[in-house]
Amino acid sequence: MSFLTTRGLTAHYGDFQALFGVDIMLNEGETIAIIGANGAGKTTLMRSLSGVLRNSPEMITLDGRKIGAMSADEIVPLGLAMVPEGRRLFPSLSVEENLLIGAYGRKIEGYWNLEKIYRLFPILAERRSSPGTALSGGQQQMVAIGRALMSNPRVLLCDEISLGLAPVVIRDIYAAVPRIQESGASLIVVEQDIGQAMKVADRVYCMMEGRVTLEGTPQSLSRDDIHAAYFGVGA
Amino acid sequence: MIWVDTIVQGVLLGGLYALFAAGLSLVFGIMRLVNLAHGDFIVMAAYLILLLVTLLGLSPFVAAALAAPIMYLTGWLLQKHLLNRTLGTDILPPLLVTFGLSIALQNALLEGFSADSQRLPTGAISTASLDLGVINVGVLPLMTFGSAIVVIVGLNQLFYRTELGRAFRATSDDPTTASLMGIRPGDIFAKATAIAMLVVTLAALYLGMRSNFDPSIGPARLIYAFQAVIIGGLGSLWGTLAGGVIIGLAQTIGAAINPEWQILAGHVAFLVVLLVRPRGLFPRAVD
């Protein structure tokens, strides 16, 4: 059954409306990808889900509970964690401290702990005392993912985790995704890199101008469908 | 020999200024808030201690221990329900609100305790001194300096060794991302101001035991504290101690040359540091 759902989700930045009635749903243990061009509303959707943007209560439900109006710090304990766009590590904290603070709002025994994160990304163990922001972009992304996993989330939101990274680094990062899926977490992956998104996702939503324009499994969607939904033009 | 004495006195006086400044430094370091009523809160805490001493017949130290939780709660409520509302991209609202608070506090204290100058009863300790051979050092100044060191070490431990300290630093870096970790920035700020008020209580204890105080002296304490924070580099706690010592040294050396120069020398030292090191002695790497 549906686990995380948005129904008629709208979002505004002042007078500017960024989302126009977005309906998506995520089943337990499932990975969905949200693809779309710049300005399609993908990040706004993630900010709404994580509570950075507040909405009406009934617009977002997690396990039947209305969470649309909750703030981020209220949502984290319910088991939803986000890897924000641009990684956003804390410059004053070391790599290990960045990871530890990920568990601040939700300390539960679960699959993920410091040791497991270091096993997932061994390079982080070597750099554990460095300031988070002294790392390369790819390593910073690993810290950001590890930090979100430290709360043992039931839903992990990944916003543009390939953005600004070299292809070989993106491959390394995405190599970790199956292990995160095995740990039982459900994932929402926002991507501009359609190829990567299709590889890990069970289902795909394509967004354009604040609306969902296409939905389906990666196998069922043709290149032309995606092209049309992505750019809003017939192929 | 007189110069050795002057320098030692100056360093020890710096301990008092560091105590004035540590709370200010803590709050500024975490939320970029300059509390213009900081000096008045020190004076308020001194009156609170005096009240407990007078009403319950306690020693100032016990009274300060009782005043501490009251001040902690005051700081928490103040930040949670008033100052948090002023924080944002605009730096003006917190300055205006704390400036207003400063005036209101001074007048409330004037109304409640009159303009007469007061002092905390200290007994023998205020005149006790240690004979170090070459010079004599007062026990109270030594205790003040020791307390300043303990406070700075303690705050550093809190900052760099505890989960709350991590949350302080993370919230200071980026409150929005901190909230994605389940941190409630408003609560973190409230705790920081509450802890600053514990330091304020300690500063008030030594202020009240070492000199007279009346409701109007808060702003001058704020200036010394502010200068110590700026000299040290914004947000650096050890820098704040160094800043306090520099002001203390300048004042005592100035006074040794000519008693009229005491306060002026402190301000001149501050200006010189600003000229030579505009970001202070130990600026934070990220600002």
For CA atoms A158, A160, A164, A168, give the dihedral sign. Answer: positive
Chain A partners of B286 at a C-beta cutoff of 8 Å? 91-92
Are B179 and A104 in contact (CB < 8 Å)? Answer: no
Q: Residue B134 falls within a domain, yes or no?
A: no
Confidence at residue A223, expressed as pLDDT on a 0 to 100 scale? 80
Residues 6+ apart with CB under 8 A from B3: B256
Q: Which two tokens stand for residue B162?
A: 């505890």
State the average pLDDT for chain B: 94
Nearest residue on chain B to A133, alpha-carbon basis: B286
pLDDT tops 90 at residue B156: yes
Confidence at residue A153, expressed as pLDDT on a 0 to 100 scale? 96
Q: Residue B119 falls within a domain, yes or no?
A: no
Are B169 and A73 in contact (CB < 8 Å)? Answer: no
Burial class of residue B89 in the structure, from the number of CB atoms within 10 Å of its CB (0-12 exposed, 13-18 middle, 19+ buried): exposed
Q: How much is the CA Rg of chain A, to the nearest whole Å?
A: 17
Q: Residue A96 falls within a domain, yes or no?
A: no
Q: Give the domain CATH number at A156.
A: 3.40.50.300
Q: Which of A:7-26 have CB within 8 Å of B?
A: none
Q: Residue A130 falls within a domain, yes or no?
A: no
Confidence at residue B32, expressed as pLDDT on a 0 to 100 scale? 87
Chain-centre distance of CA B283, in angstroms? 19
The predicted model gives B64-86 an average pLDDT of 97
Q: Residue B70 falls within a domain, yes or no?
A: yes
- Give the model confidence (pLDDT) of A141-161 as tens digits: 999 999 999 999 999 999 999
- Give the model confidence (pLDDT) of A94-151 as tens digits: 999 999 999 999 999 999 999 999 999 999 999 999 998 899 999 999 999 999 999 9
Confidence at residue B285, expressed as pLDDT on a 0 to 100 scale? 56
For residue B183, the distance in angstroms to the closest alpha carbon of chain A comes to 6
Asked whether the beta carbons of B192 and B171 are under 8 A apart, the reply is: no
Q: Residue A136 falls within a domain, yes or no?
A: no
Q: Residue A118 falls within a domain, yes or no?
A: no
Confidence at residue B1, expressed as pLDDT on a 0 to 100 scale? 66
Please tell me the distance from the alpha carbon of residue A41 to that of residue B117, in angstroms, as a whole number: 64
Q: Specify the range with the lowest mean pLDDT, choosing from A59-68, B82-91, B131-140.
A: B131-140
Chain-centre distance of CA B269, in angstroms? 19
* Domain count for chain A: 1
Q: Which two tokens stand for residue A191?
A: 């991507």
Confidence at residue A235, expressed as pLDDT on a 0 to 100 scale? 46
pTM of the model: 0.91
Residues in chain A: 235
Q: For residue A32, give Cα distances in angstroms to A50, A156, A157, A203, B21.
A: 16, 11, 10, 5, 52
Burial class of residue A96 in the structure, from the number of CB atoms within 10 Å of its CB (0-12 exposed, 13-18 middle, 19+ buried): buried
Please tell me the distance from the alpha carbon of residue A209 to that of residue A231, in angstroms, as a whole number: 10
Q: Residue A160 falls within a domain, yes or no?
A: yes
Chain A partners of B174 at a C-beta cutoff of 8 Å? 88, 90
What does the angle CA A17 – CA A23 – CA A25 come to, to the nearest 5 degrees? Answer: 135
Are A50 and B183 in contact (CB < 8 Å)? Answer: no
Q: Give the domain CATH number at B100.
A: 1.10.3470
For residue B123, the distance in angstroms to the closest alpha carbon of chain A comes to 46
Q: Residue B283 falls within a domain, yes or no?
A: no
* Domain count for chain B: 1
Asked whether the beta carbons of B76 and B191 are under 8 A apart, the reply is: yes
Q: Residue A123 falls within a domain, yes or no?
A: no
Please tell me the distance from the alpha carbon of residue B280 to that of residue A107, in angstroms, as a whole number: 39
Residue B172 forms contact with A (CB below 8 Å):
yes
Residue ranges making up the domain that contains A164: 2-87+147-231
Backbone phi, psi, residue B23, to 5°:
-65, -40
Are B173 and A81 in contact (CB < 8 Å)? Answer: no
The CB-side HSE value for B255 (13 A sphere, CA atoms) comes to 16
Smallest Cβ–Cβ distance between A105 and the set B172, B176, B181 belongs to B181
Are B180 and A104 in contact (CB < 8 Å)? Answer: no
Q: Which of B:173-202 have CB within 8 Å of A?
A: 173-174, 176-184
Report strand pairing: A60-62 vs A65-66. antiparallel
Please tell me the distance from the alpha carbon of residue B15 to that of residue B138, in angstroms, as a whole number: 13
Nearest residue on chain B to A103, alpha-carbon basis: B181
Chain A partners of B172 at a C-beta cutoff of 8 Å? 92
Q: Specify the range with the lowest mean pLDDT, choosing from B86-90, B130-134, B195-199.
A: B130-134
Task: Identify the residue with better confidence: A143 or B122.
Answer: A143
Q: Residue A174 falls within a domain, yes or no?
A: yes
Confidence at residue B131, expressed as pLDDT on a 0 to 100 scale? 86
Q: Which of A90, A147, A152 to mutate to test the interface with B (most CBs of B within 10 A)?
A: A90
Residue ranges making up the domain that contains B216: 2-114+141-276
Smallest Cβ–Cβ distance between B180 and the set A84, A93, A97 belongs to A84
Are B176 and A52 in contact (CB < 8 Å)? Answer: yes
Q: Which two tokens stand for residue B155?
A: 């705050």
